[in-house]
Amino acid sequence: MNELSKWRENYLAIRNQLPWLDAWRPPDAVAVFADAAASKIPAARIVPLLRKTDIAADTLAYYQPEVMSLKEAANLANGHCPLIIKATDVKLNQVDLLATEYPELDLIIASGNQKILYYFAELTVLLKKHPHLFLATANLCNMLAPERLEHENLSEKLLYGSFMPFLAEDVAMAPLIMSDLSWQAKCAVAGNNLRRILGIKPLLPVEIKYRRVNPFIIDAHGHTLKTPALYRMPVPDCEYQWPQWREFLDAVGVIKIYITPSEAISGKDAAKDFALELCRASQGRMRFFEVFNPNTVEQSLEHLEASLPLPECVGIKIHPAVHQVYASDPRYARAFAAAEKFGKPIMTHSWEISSYNPTQKFSCPGLFEEHIKAFPKVKFVLGHAGGRVGSFPEVVELCGKYPNVSVDISGDYFHNGMIGNLVSAIGAERVLFASDVNWIDPRCIEGMLLGSSLPEEELMMIFRTNAERIYG
């Protein structure tokens, strides 16, 4: 049995053994991809809260802001059942006030369809402050989130939640399964914390130990950070030197990672200045992307000329959303020309039009087409695979028309059915494993792949061999 087979078998065995009870499978959640899998995991009954709702003790009430005020909802649920509040519906300061006013009401914060990773620090503070405040784990994808919250003695405040069928449930399962939490703590988060709230007897099945996989994965899209003020949320790697990175990569099964220092994207300094020492210390396990900023073309070209010949430099990173220059802008042709000259790929941030993040409009996949067509020899990777469902048709069209285009699946593109539909549409040979660490925990995406129906041959392409072919 090969390493991937053993890893998948161990993962699925633990997945089947843990006493799951889903705290966040709302009745209005729908899958957005065809043939998305249904869940076989038991879930608590969630009832949208109405003024005439007959609330049962083993039910979770679901707050709907269009129906009533938050205080009305708290009055109805208080003394009867827990109240779920979707993070996109209520600001955290309102949650703080509500938990203070209703100290005995069990409140559960659950993800909406937007990131909650930005609020990791604020959520940690609130969970510590309020004894009856809990967090459903759907979309809780911050790097090493289970371990960081366990360190704060908060694992008892975590409730496994999937947001199925909208999100893939393995995204929330995998960080817990692969964590270094005790078996008892894993069982608590998987379902026993919720059982305790609902007055249901906890379950403690026989332990199956998680066995770390011998590193073989290539993570084709990551970040490092030495300047915490650049990020809206805390990340655990600001003080990491190579020994700390090695420990982390070994823990998540990654043999190589390709990183872009966040300072080089946000500022004018070369990525080489932040990454080269670290990459050399790693002896080949870490390589870096040099950044091309179309707002500083000549300076960026100097950076590319200095970095691209280095074996530690894996290619060029462009980020139209941060630099706020449309991907169709002719200035990007200079980056493509440099990539062609040095025989190195280009990887870009890509996303759909976003109502709540307007700068994403600069990075829509279709905007890259003229450059892709003009430089057919340049291997081009759409980071985040377009980011969201709205850009899926553009991604498929580009990959269908141009053999030099591939995608990586980094970020929080966790939609149920995305992996299967993406592979069906463009082929497994065009899909690269990537995490977007230090934003995203690689285990979220590892779980999404291990829990999919893809055969191991295709999984191996995604986890490793495609990156070897494209990045060398």
Q: Are residues 136 and 265 in the same domain?
A: no
Q: Are residues 100 and 14 in the same domain?
A: yes
Number of domains within the chain: 2
Specify the range with the lowest mean pLDDT, choosing from 25-39, 204-218, 340-354, 439-453.
Answer: 25-39
Helix (H) / strand (E) element for 330: namely: none
| 441 domain residue, yes or no | yes
- Contact 22/164 with Cβ under 8 angstroms? yes
pLDDT digits over 298-307, tens only? 999 999 999 9
First to last CA, the chain: 27
pLDDT digits over 173-199, tens only? 999 999 999 999 999 999 999 999 999
Q: Are residues 187 and 72 in the same domain?
A: yes
Q: Are residues 156 and 243 in the same domain?
A: no
pLDDT digits over 216-264, tens only? 999 999 999 999 999 989 999 999 999 999 999 999 999 999 999 999 9
pLDDT digits over 51-62, tens only? 876 777 789 999
Query: How confident is the model at residue 287, as a pLDDT?
Result: 98
Q: Are residues 310 and 369 in the same domain?
A: yes
264: domain CATH number is: 3.20.20.140
Q: Are residues 312 and 407 in the same domain?
A: yes
Backbone angles phi, psi at 442, to 5 degrees: -55, -25
- Mean pLDDT for the stretch of residues 75-81: 91
| 259 domain residue, yes or no | yes
Other Cβ atoms within 10 Å of 197 Cβ, number: 19
**What's the mean pLDDT when you consider all of the chain?**
96
Task: Name 159's bridge partners.
Answer: 136
Question: How far apart (Å, rounded) are the C-alpha atoms in residues 387 and 392?
Answer: 8
- In this predicted structure, the answer to whether residue 1 has a pLDDT above a threshold of 80 is no
Q: Are residues 96 and 132 in the same domain?
A: yes
Query: How confident is the model at residue 420, as a pLDDT?
Result: 97
Q: Are residues 169 and 243 in the same domain?
A: no
Percent of the chain clearing pLDDT 90 (strictly above): 95
Q: Are residues 314 and 379 in the same domain?
A: yes
| 16 domain residue, yes or no | yes
> What single string gives the DSSP state of each residue in 358-376?
GGGGGG-GGGGHHHHHH-T
pLDDT digits over 88-121, tens only? 999 999 999 999 999 999 999 999 988 899 999 9
What is the identity of the amino acid at 70? L
Boundary of a domain, candidates 198, 227, 243 = 198
Q: Are residues 221 and 194 in the same domain?
A: no
Query: How confident is the model at residue 35, as a pLDDT?
Result: 87
Q: Are residues 71 and 179 in the same domain?
A: yes
Query: How confident is the model at residue 262, as a pLDDT?
Result: 97
Domain that holds residue 151: 3-198
- In this predicted structure, the answer to whether residue 366 has a pLDDT above a threshold of 60 is yes
Q: Are residues 233 and 167 in the same domain?
A: no
